[in-house]
Chains A and B, each alone.
Chain A
Amino acid sequence: MTAIAIPRTGAAEPAPRWFALRAFGNEAGKGLRLMWRHRAITITSIVMNGLMYLMIQFFIGGGHLVLPVMALTLPALSAYALASTAALQGSGGIAEEVNGGTLEQAHLSPAPPSLLVVGRLAALAVEGLIPAAVLALAFGLGYGPHWVIRPDALVPLLLTVLDALGYGLLMTALTLRVASVGAVVHVFNMAVMFFGGMLIPITLFPHGIEIFARFLPTALGTEVLNTTLAGHGLGAAWSDGTLPWLLVHVVVLAGLGWAAYLYTVRRARREGGLSPR
């Protein structure tokens, strides 16, 4: 009788940290490669988003651009560009993977879903931040709004980015549960555009609508960003309550997105929802 030694399954495995980095890199790289492949569409949509903003401001100004209104609404344009891109590409991307069957393959990996989603989020962040930065720079340099740019503006900026990504993740998670949610993402994005401060600052809405608007992604972030860009500092945003509420909003939305994504993935794995049904 011949005995054959079976190699230990764990022996050839890479170290967990290296493996985690590679899994993250693969997932993020996949998103970035897809973005590069569709760069023409991304560039066109940046240009058209800029045009759309100009048109809206043109109408609000009654046939001309009112610079103080632009100064108040430009941060919301960037926030909208980030949030809408994260939501649309997150939702569209995962629907594509579900229908193509490749999401199932990705989840055959021993990497936990929480690691894969971080890679997915990183790609969405890059994809969303590019139009946001391009639009902010183009209009900021082109129209020279009177902003006081200080380091404290980085706090609401970072929180707004996290808020937008939380929203994108939530929409991605919903797509896993309700495959036909794509059309609704457009409507949510319109809500972010209208009530998030891109047309007018949300402080000008009727009181009830203002409260509703503050629940929407990026609205509070834009409000705090406007406060800091007006030179009032974070202290003013803290004392009027917008900064604490922004922190709560980011934690809740990001947590909700994260929990919803992991829950829907777990459920899809259990019920066979990672591929088309």
Chain B
Amino acid sequence: MNTVKPGYVRPLDLRNGRVDLGFGAGGRAMVQLISELFARAFANDYLARSDDGAVLPALGQGERLVMATDAHVVSPLFFPGGDIGSLSVHGTVNDLAVMGARPLYLAASFILEEGYPLADLARIVDSMATAARAAGVMVVTGDTKVVEQGKGDGVFITTTGVGALPAGRDPGGARARPGDVVLLSGRIGDHGMAIMAQRESLAFDSEIVSDSAALNGLVEALYAAVPAEAVRVLRDPTRGGLATTLNEIATQSGVGMELDEAAIPISSQVHAACELLGLDPLYVANEGKLVVLCAPEHAEAALAALRAHPLGAEAARIGAATADPQHFVQIRTGFGGRRMVDWLAGEQLPRIC
């Protein structure tokens, strides 16, 4: 005899359950995954409506719409200082923030591997929700697909975000001019080395923690302190590190750069870990740092604004843009000599020699 109450659906076993192909099939299982996991965690009216898309309010007067997207395939999925979930929120929020926009809404699409533990997925989703709330954004729509075991790395997440760019703000990679001051919001290399430490064959023990963070608050603090047109370029130096970001800007803007190595903040542990593995910290990824190219007459105020914000406490002036038809990024070493900081050639790999 059927003693199950009508309308009863057994909840997902978030402790011991695993992702199976049914979750991506579009049927009841998928709806259940969405409502019990995603919608519960992200908790907003848009998701509650369970429509195929989210109808968003119009922007304010003079604001322009900005969109950005980021796919996340980080391995390992969990690392000191974050996980793929928080990273996916911060990554897209930061892409919007460095456009000068206020990040507003995110779409999140998941590709899950069959067999992935639901408990870990729940951790990731909760982490995303926490990161989104802290950044002041909402995950308003999403998608889920499941691939067969062996065809995915546990979880891949793509986030797409939209934000509102207030009138007057127009930072861009091509806007730097000779004389502009280069500011950096804090220590380089934390994220990349936190990930490296987890790699089995490189394993080392340290207190290095990923700097993964949402930068929109820091960017707003900057714009509150200086005129919008003084903020020429905003970037977050992710893959390829500070060196790659500065080379990109130099090329786009048609300028050179001169940096002061002694002024670039780096933690002693990141420095030591790089020495141990033969890596150059200038090329190591960051996930919570801001690079600003600022008009020189407002550089002091900009730096002060960054330093007053928790994410910018160690902000520093690290150099300046120059007139250089070769667009070289040069650095004065702590030792006293000069050298170039070139584009990264291929992936940075630990060296023996």
Bind each other: no
Q: Which residues of A does B touch, CB under 8 Å? A: none
